[in-house]
Amino acid sequence: MIRLRVVAAGLGAAVGVGFWTGFRSTSQVFGPFPFRGQTQERVVALTFDDGPNEPYTSRLLDVLDERGIRATFFQVGRCAERFPSTTRRIVDTGHVLGNHSFSHAFSHYLSEPRQRFEVDRAQEVLQRIAGVTPALYRPPWLCHPPWVLNTLHERRLQVVSGTFGHPLEIFQPPAQMMAAGADKIASPGSMIIFHDGREARGGPRHQTVAAIGPLIDRLQNRGYRFATVDQLLDVPAYL
Ligand SMILES: [Zn+2]
């Protein structure tokens, strides 16, 4: 009995380690999963996942537009249906719109037909709302098993990973703390991940919004400029 339990615990740990190894943001185990641009220049991409989510996405856009900085927004189809004018503004003002699935539901990634639907439905929604068909896809939770990569390959979508701006962002720690943390991890070619929403549910993002201005100041003081993900990876933004 004890031996069985040890075996079960061992198996559990192995699955856990395998999961972590396969799905962490820098993992290339299942195929190319770019998390940074190949450059020595001081240039980074600011990216925002899980929106649109108002009023936070519009406030972020105000900060970025005031400073003339273009960012990349990986949006959830269901959220874009909720705030279509925000999704349109992203494209109209020269930011880049990427696909981040239709419903951001983890269970949908475990079945191949369901995750195909997630990719395709989000493409339809974003196309209908913003008039562009994204060529960039960031999987929810950066979950990229082989069947997801196959679907993306078939759809001519570029899979995109990145580096989390702050590990505790979900708990919304003080903005200055997040700005300092993201400044510390930024290096040439970084694609820094923030969240203007939470999965498909929205929720408060005051501290994320407040962190972006100070982060831009810090990076600019270190000589950094800003690019969009398509520019960093040298791929098209839209199909
Ligand atoms: Zn997400």
Per-residue pLDDT of the chain (239 residues; tens, 9 = 90+): 455 555 455 555 544 545 555 667 777 777 788 999 999 999 999 999 999 999 999 999 999 999 999 999 999 999 999 999 999 999 999 999 999 999 999 888 778 889 999 999 999 999 999 999 999 999 999 988 898 999 999 999 999 999 999 999 999 999 999 999 999 999 999 999 999 999 999 999 999 999 999 999 999 999 999 999 999 999 999 99
d(CA 135, CA 112): 20
User: Using an 8 Å Cβ cutoff, are 215 and 179 in contact?
Assistant: yes
Give the pLDDT of residue 32: 84
The pTM of this model reads: 0.90
Who contacts 62 (Cβ-Cβ below 8 Å, separation ≥6)?
none
Gap from CA of 113 to ligand 1 centroid (Å): 20
Label the pairing between strands 225-226 and 43-51: parallel
Gap from CA of 200 to ligand 1 centroid (Å): 8
Gap from CA of 140 to ligand 1 centroid (Å): 4
φ, ψ (nearest 5 deg) of residue 73: -115, 115
Gap from CA of 148 to ligand 1 centroid (Å): 15
Gap from CA of 7 to ligand 1 centroid (Å): 34
